[in-house]
Structure formats: structure tokens, C-alpha cells
Chain A
Amino acid sequence: MYSRTADKVFDTIVYAVVIIAVLVCIIPFLHVIALSLSSNEAVVAQKVSILPIGFNLEAYSRIIKDATMIRSLLLTILITVLFTLLGMFLTVCCAYPLNKKRLKGRKFMSMICIFTLFFSGGIIPNYILINNLKLLNSIWSLILPLAFSAYNMIIIKNFFANIPESLEESAYLDGCTDVGILVRIVLPLSAPALATIALFFAVGRWNTFQDALFYITKPDLYPLQLKLNLIVSASASTESLGESVGAAQLVPEVLKAACVMFATLPIVIVYPWLQKYFVSGVMIGAVKG
């Protein structure tokens, strides 16, 4: 006979733990948002916790008026879009043939792709390559090298594998070419998976700054995360902030907080919709086929 009280206690613990976890996840975020929207005095007086005090958009207007920040933002958007388009193209060009069982050499071709997940040249050989290709300080150094992702390719390949062969066969019998089948049958049916992978590419590119750090040394080509890293890690000397966002009368914390929010804004805006796709993407990927 189990005890009802034990059950209730257990339930309370469960809810408590989950609530704490949720709070821990979101409070840091809310705090920074609040800081970015607060007035100098409130921040200096350490009164700001999760709600803004002395609400004002000063920091944001400062950022928007800063040409280098806007330039960085537009550049990052351009890079992300190009990267995603190229990535999707390469993914489909790779996944579609590899899905055809009748293709000779398929296993070998798959191995070539999958091996890239296990072993890589590392930082230096990649750097030397980019250097030799004269791509240092070019946005293409951020678009080309990582455009092919074996991980994403496998997910799409598995998805293609779930499309019944009979559909394709009947299209052949109707005289459709390989291209036609791809464009008219396979792609439309895979739209959700493709959308998910496109998001994987886009978010991945938006958030990664390691390659930008290595390959881009000219300040006007800094993508957003790199620029943000400099602003955040600069030992809060007002001069370095002042340089980039005009005569700084704003307390560094407020400005920094606003910069942080600025760099993550697109992600946050589309977040609820975004996470739905990502979760389903993980599911598709988790099905080992």
C-alpha cells in the first residue's frame, strides 16, 4: 500500500525542482534585458534585478546610431543567409544520391562524408589553407569551409530514406528524370526537414565566432559575435566602449547589456517557433537509420 502523503511530497519536490530549473534558466536573461533598459542611476545604485528601473531606450538608440554595429549586423545577416543557402544546396546534393541504393560506390562515398565527423585537420592546417586561398579577411572564409556538414547531411539522408520508393518509381514510369523527381517529389515532401536543417545552419552560423576570430582581423569586417566579444571582454574601460559607440556617458553595464541583447535579438524573436523545429530536428537525427 503506497502512501498518498509520500506521493504529494514527491510531487512537490518535482514541481519545485522544475520551477527552480526554469527560473535559473531565465532569470539571468531577464536580468540582462532589464539592465539594458534601465537608467544609469538605478544600475549604479544596484537596484535592478529582473525588471527595468527608470525605463529608457538610450542604450539601444546609441547602438542603432552606431554605424559599426549596424554594419556588423548587416554583414552577419548576409553571411548567415549565404551560408545557409550554400549549406542547404550542398546537403541536398550529397544526401539525394547517397540515398539511392542502386548507386555503385555508395558506401565508399558515404564513408568519405562521415569520416569528416571523426577526424579533422585542426586549427592550424585550416588556417594555413584559408591563408593560401587568400581568403583571410574575406567573408567567404566564414561561408565556404563549413558549408558542408556531414551531420546535417545524414539527417536529410535519413529523411529522404523515409520517402517511399514507389513514389519515385511511378514517376520514372511516367518518364520523369532524376532532376524532376528531386524537384517535384522529394523536395516538397521533405520541406519540414529542410526547414529544420536550414535553421540548424543559420543558428549555427549566427552563434559561432571561433572562425571569425581566426580569419578576420579587419575591424570593419567583424561579424556580430566577434564584435560583441570585444565589447564584453574589454576590461570595461570606457574609452574602448566610447570608441565604438560614441561619447560614453552611459554606464558600461547598461551599454554592454544592450549590446548583448542586440546580438541575440534575432534568435530571441523567432525563438518559440525556432525551438519547435529544433526539437523535431533532434528527433529526426536521433533515429539511427
Chain B
Amino acid sequence: MNPLGTSSDLVRGKPKALKANGFLYYLKRDFFLYLMFFIPLCFIFLFYYVPMYGLTIAFKDYDVIRGYMESPWIGFDAFKEVFKSPDFLKVLRNTLVLNFLDLLFGFPAPIILAIFLNEIRVKWFKRVSQTILYLPHFLSWVIIAGIMYQLFSPNTGLVNILIRSLGGQTIPFLTEKWHWLFTYVGIGVWQTAGWGTIIYLAAITGINSELYEAAVVDGAGRLRKIWNITLPGIRSTIIVMLIISLGRIMGSSFDRPYAIGNPIVREVADVIATFVYRVGIQSLRYNTATAIGLFQSGVGLILVLITDFIAIKVGEKGIV
């Protein structure tokens, strides 16, 4: 079937058998395309939208034996219980603290690194550096945790051996609360800084080179060029990335805190995702865990919408 319409269509108008712009007409014309889309649609429906409906468990007193339909409706009771629970508040605090620290240290790092990388003239050095800098991004958190626990081990770890040989005292990088916090963030920066430079470097190459030439004529040195041209030039990229990061402030990845955390530091390491895992899957308190999950997803959605709105206001193209 020719989707562009046969010439007789154009001349005489559509045949009476099919309504001019009716749904059936389009279905027939593009049947194959709709069929194609139908397959992923099934997956999307089953694995994304059905669980969304399952969020209503948060409002029910879910009993595995009685099943979903028979479980009584309890409204917001589960939520009230959750918000009063000191455990949850602690976990919420941890999530926000970790994300905030990640933002504070992890956000500037790729920008600075990208600017520095851009200043490098020796092509092979730049390429090799970038290849190495991207490596941490490809490692799973289990691998990274394995490496880091090895490296920072109090007695046998390379870092502490070095510290001791320089006369210092062993530092409990991963085995004491406060040290763990900063090691955690540091590891996060380690994993993302190199990869993050890609976006910023791409933005930097988009800056008009005439601006630089004009600056040289005006007597600007390297630092001044960076401050007055490069940074403003990538301003919009920075803002978009910042907005996206802020939108994720409630989110918690699971793999990373789970792999890097350990029972000693649970008080600061437990985040919403790991808490939901313990409470939900391990202790089977489904409706509490679901309520927390709903809270997190809901806040996440609201944040995305807000930050997208702000992005548009500031002049960037939104994602939605």
C-alpha cells in the first residue's frame, strides 16, 4: 500500500469505502508500523506500567496470602507510619546528604578537568589521557568496591602503607563513618569525572574561535581567556547539567551504596534504595517499602518537572 496515496486519491478524493481521515484508514495504511510498535509496547506495558499500578500497594494492607484484591484499603496510613519512623528519616537524610555531597564535589570536577584537557596541545597525550580517564566509568560498582577496599584497607592497603611510610597514622577510609562519607564521594568523583568531560569538551569545541583570537589581540592571558570566554561559552551546558543533577537529588542508586557500604557505616550509608531492599524484600514489609518507593518516585517526578520548567525559563530546551 503506497503510504503517499495513489494518484487517483489525489484526483478523485478518497474512495467512499474508507472514511476520509478515520482511524481505520490510518490503521490500514500503516498497519505494519503499528504492529511493529505493538511488540515493545507489550514489554513497556507489562514491565513498566503494571508495576506503576502496583504502587497502589502502598495504600493497602497487603497480605501475600490474601492477595492483592482482598487486601484492605488503608489510605495514607502506611505513609504516616513511614514518616514517623526514625529509621526512614535517617535513610532520607543519608540519601540527601550523599547526593548533595556528590553534587558539591562531583559536579565541578568534570568541568575543571574538561577545561584543562582542552588546554592540552599535545594530541597524543590528550587522547591517551582521555582513554584512561574514561576507564572507571566502565567498571561495575562491585568491581570498584573490590578495588577500593583493597586499596584503602587499614592494614594492607596501598594508600595506608604509603601514609605510614611518610610518618602518618593509618586512616580508616572505609571503616569509619565520617571517613567513609568522603571516601564514598571521592570514589564517585573517580568514577564519573573522566566520563563527564565528554559533554563539556563537546560544548567547548562549540565556542567560536574568533572570540579567542579577539581576546589575544586585547592582551588576554590563558587564565583570562578561560574565565571570560570558555566558562561563559559553556554556561548553558553547565546549567542544563546542574538542573538535571538537582532533579536527581532524591534519587538513589542502589548498586553504589550497597557495594561500597558495609555494616559498620550503615548509619550513614543506608539510602532509600538499600533501605527499601532490606525492609521490603528481606523483611517482606511490602506496603511500607512500596510507600517509600512511591514517595521517592513521586518526588523524583515532581523534581524533574520543576527542573525542566526552570530549564525552559532559563532559555534551554526542555526534556519533556
Contacts and interface: CB of A to CB of B under 8 A. Distances in A.
A239 interface: no
B4 A172 contact: yes
B151 interface: yes
B153 to A, nearest CB: 8
A60 interface: no
Contacts, number: 274
Contacts of B136: 25
A257 interface: yes
B37 A109 contact: yes
Interface in A120-179: 120-129, 144-148, 153, 169, 172, 177-179
Q: Determine chain A's interface SS by DSSP, over half rule.
A: helix
B142 A228 contact: yes
Contact of A118 (B258, B289, B296, B304): B304
Given A97-B36, A232-B146, A264 B140 contact: yes
A18 B132 contact: no
Interface string B213-241: 00000011111000000000000000000
Interface in A1-29: 1-3, 6-7, 10-11, 14-15, 17-19, 21-22, 24-26, 28-29
A243 to B, nearest CB: 18
Nearest to A207: B140
A14 B304 CA distance: 36
Given A178-B32, A233-B262, A286-B199, A46 B277 contact: no
Contact of A129 (B50, B296, B300, B301): B50
A274 B259 CA distance: 25
Interface stretch (B8-16, B79-87, B88-96, B115-123): B115-123
Contacts of A26: 132, 135
A119 B297 contact: yes
B47 A145 contact: yes
Contacts of B289: 123-124
A264 B202 contact: no
Contacts of B298: 119
A125 B55 contact: yes
A127 B289 CA distance: 11
A190 interface: no
Interface in A66-93: 89-91, 93
Nearest to A215: B281
B250 to A, nearest CB: 12
Given A94-B37, A96-B33, A210-B254, A128 B44 contact: no
Interface residues of B, number: 91
A97 B113 contact: no
A1 B216 CA distance: 10
Contacts of B34: 97, 103
A121 B48 contact: yes
A125 B54 contact: yes
Given A7-B222, A14-B120, A232-B149, A119 B262 contact: no
Contact of A125 (B41, B52, B133): B52
A46 B156 contact: yes
Given A18-B116, A233-B262, A116 B138 contact: no
A120 to B, nearest CB: 6
A288 interface: yes
Contact of B143 (A14, A98, A260): A260
Interface of B: 2-4, 23, 26, 30, 32-34, 36-37, 39-41, 43-44, 46-48, 50-55, 57, 113, 116-117, 119-120, 128-129, 131-136, 138-143, 145-151, 156, 158, 161, 190, 193-194, 198-199, 202, 219-223, 254-255, 258-259, 262, 273, 276-277, 280-281, 286, 289-290, 293-294, 296-298, 300-301, 304-305, 317, 319-320
20 contacts: A10-B221, A10-B223, A15-B120, A17-B113, A18-B117, A24-B190, A122-B276, A122-B296, A123-B280, A125-B51, A125-B53, A127-B280, A128-B54, A129-B54, A153-B40, A209-B255, A213-B258, A229-B259, A232-B145, A256-B146
